[in-house]
Structure 1
Amino acid sequence: MHLETEKQFNEIAQSIPYQTIQYKDVAITIKRLDQIHPAISGNKFFKLKYNFSQAKNLGYKGVLTFGGAFSNHIAATAFAAQLFGFKSLGIIRGEELQSHPYNATLTFAHEYGMQFSFISREQYRQKNQVDFIEQLKTNYPDYYLIPEGGTNDLAILGCQEILSPSDLQDYQTICCAVGTGGTISGIIESCQPHHQVLGFSALKGDFLTREVQQFTSKKNWKIIDDYCCGGYAKVTAELINFIRSFEQKYQIPLEQIYTGKLLMGIFDLVDQGKFPSKVLVIHSGGLQGRSSII
């Protein structure tokens, strides 16, 4: 690993604050990863840390990665690339977006130097296929490839650092949002058998369970997709109303893709009496994807 890059990552990380809120008879402590850094925040900080060290160590000049139009990973990668002297290229799902004005996430990434290649949804589904990856390596030989959402073995290694020793000592139930499965996999790997890890999915379907099973053999975890509002980046009036009410009461910012669904799910399970008296919730950031409708 390239220790200089790791040191740079650690230097930009601020002390991570905690904020405890009381909802009914449950103390919900939120670990504010969103406050690590203004741009490389949340779980993305931990996912990118060792990937950028590897890219530097192997002598790459740029980083190439994948994402949708609202991808927190795309935004964080663009900023980190400029900060550490890399070029960046985003393979973006949806060729029709090329003719549309950029949304807030893509605008942010582009302002920090990321170039885009917009491809069809059909092509995008090939992003993990060997032939597709090999063609990208041929076309962009100076670019280090980071998977969608940043999820690979190095990302999981980084995400094992999300929980501190005191977190593991003080809490038995730990909750986080789930997109590609990397963050929760790292959290699971850092936990002991007596911990329960609950992942609130931003997407519909049980495929994420299979994804996480590729990265861990532990059994003390569960993926919950009851609060995904129909799928990735989909919202409902109930979700928007919840976020507005939550922020007004607790002054903790959320967004509609991940953290809003996470907290809405937790509150509903508390209402059902299905939660212990205290839990730790990982706020995974991603606030640059926050919609103007909130």
Structure 2
Amino acid sequence: MGPTASPDLTGPAGPAALSPSLSPLLPSPLQELSDERFGRRGLRLLLKRDDLIHPELTGNKWRKLAPNLRAAAGRTIVTFGGAWSNHLRATAAAGRLLGVPTVGVVRGQELADRPLNDSLARCAADGMRLHFVERSTYRSKAESATLAAVLRAAGAEDAHVVPEGGSNTLAVR
């Protein structure tokens, strides 16, 4: 891959092969919680620490985004969320780490004229282009005509679309 080439996200390799900067800690570690109340009953309590998978793409955010990042194959990723969306933040961070353009469609056109909150400011700092839409448009984004209009208005007709929260057939395999 040359210095200007897109990352190869299409191969059969696991999520760690996406990029060295996205090397996740998988499987996520188990941490035992000791408590005499459990011990007296012969129980063990183990926590699966998905918060340690990656410093910026934790837990189910990583698990949902990894297959979508591979499927995008370097194309722009468009996704959806509210003003405080952790999914938008994770997608923006992944785009920055991979050098993949991202567009966040944000619920609430009225927010476009206000200073960005901390979450959206982080998205913008990570290079995500924010596209604010009316709440009624956002509610009907699953309709093909509405989605096409939103993608056209965002200048992202050929993008890989990831639904709000990142759950789609790729994410639940």
TM-score, normalised on structure 2? 0.78
Residues matched between the structures, number: 154
- In structure 2, how many angstroms separate the alpha carbons of the residues matched to 1:47 and 1:153? 10
- Do the aligned partners of residues 23 and 151 (structure 1) sit closer, same or farther apart at CA in structure 2, a change above 3 Å counting? farther
- In structure 2, how many angstroms separate the alpha carbons of the residues matched to 1:136 and 1:120? 10
- In structure 2, how many angstroms separate the alpha carbons of the residues matched to 1:131 and 1:144? 17
Q: Which amino acid aligns with 2:23?
A: I
Partner of 1:156: 172
For residue 18 of structure 2, the aligned residue among 5, 8, 31 is: 8
Q: Deviation at 1:23?
A: 8.4
- In structure 2, how many angstroms separate the alpha carbons of the residues matched to 1:36 and 1:141? 32
Q: Deviation at 1:65?
A: 0.5
Provide the identity percentage: 34
- Do the aligned partners of residues 23 and 143 (structure 1) sit closer, same or farther apart at CA in structure 2, a change above 3 Å counting? farther
Alignment map for 1:1-294 (pairs within 5 Å): 2-3=10-11, 6=15, 7-8=17-18, 12-15=23-26, 16-21=28-33, 22=35, 24-25=37-38, 27-56=44-73, 60=75, 62-138=76-152, 139-157=155-173
Q: Which amino acid aligns with 2:25?
A: Q
Q: Deviation at 1:91?
A: 0.5
- In structure 2, how many angstroms separate the alpha carbons of the residues matched to 1:65 and 1:116? 10
Q: Deviation at 1:78?
A: 0.4
Q: Deviation at 1:38?
A: 0.9
SS at structure 2 position matched to 1:65 = strand
SS at structure 2 position matched to 1:74 = helix
Higher strand share: 1
- In structure 2, how many angstroms separate the alpha carbons of the residues matched to 1:14 and 1:5? 12
Q: Please report the RMSD computed on the Cα atoms of aligned residues, expressed in angstroms.
A: 2.3
- Do the aligned partners of residues 52 and 5 (structure 1) sit closer, same or farther apart at CA in structure 2, a change above 3 Å counting? farther
- In structure 2, how many angstroms separate the alpha carbons of the residues matched to 1:113 and 1:40? 16
Q: Which amino acid aligns with 1:18?
A: L
- In structure 1, how many angstroms separate the alpha carbons of the residues matched to 2:44 and 2:113? 47
SS at structure 2 position matched to 1:113 = coil
Structure 1's unaligned 5+ residue stretches are 158-294
- Note the alpha carbon deviations across 1:195-225, whole angstroms, 9 max, x for none: xxxxxxxxxxxxxxxxxxxxxxxxxxxxxxx
Kept after mapping to 1: 8 A contact 2:77/2:161:
yes
Structure 2's unaligned 5+ residue stretches are 1-8
- Do the aligned partners of residues 116 and 20 (structure 1) sit closer, same or farther apart at CA in structure 2, a change above 3 Å counting? same
Kept after mapping to 2: 8 A contact 1:92/1:118:
yes
- Note the alpha carbon deviations across 1:178-199, whole angstroms, 9 max, x for none: xxxxxxxxxxxxxxxxxxxxxx
Q: Deviation at 1:27?
A: 4.3
Kept after mapping to 1: 8 A contact 2:88/2:123:
yes
- In structure 1, how many angstroms separate the alpha carbons of the residues matched to 2:144 and 2:49? 37
SS at structure 2 position matched to 1:153 = coil
- Note the alpha carbon deviations across 1:215-257, whole angstroms, 9 max, x for none: xxxxxxxxxxxxxxxxxxxxxxxxxxxxxxxxxxxxxxxxxxx
- In structure 1, how many angstroms separate the alpha carbons of the residues matched to 2:113 and 2:148? 28
- Do the aligned partners of residues 137 and 91 (structure 1) sit closer, same or farther apart at CA in structure 2, a change above 3 Å counting? closer
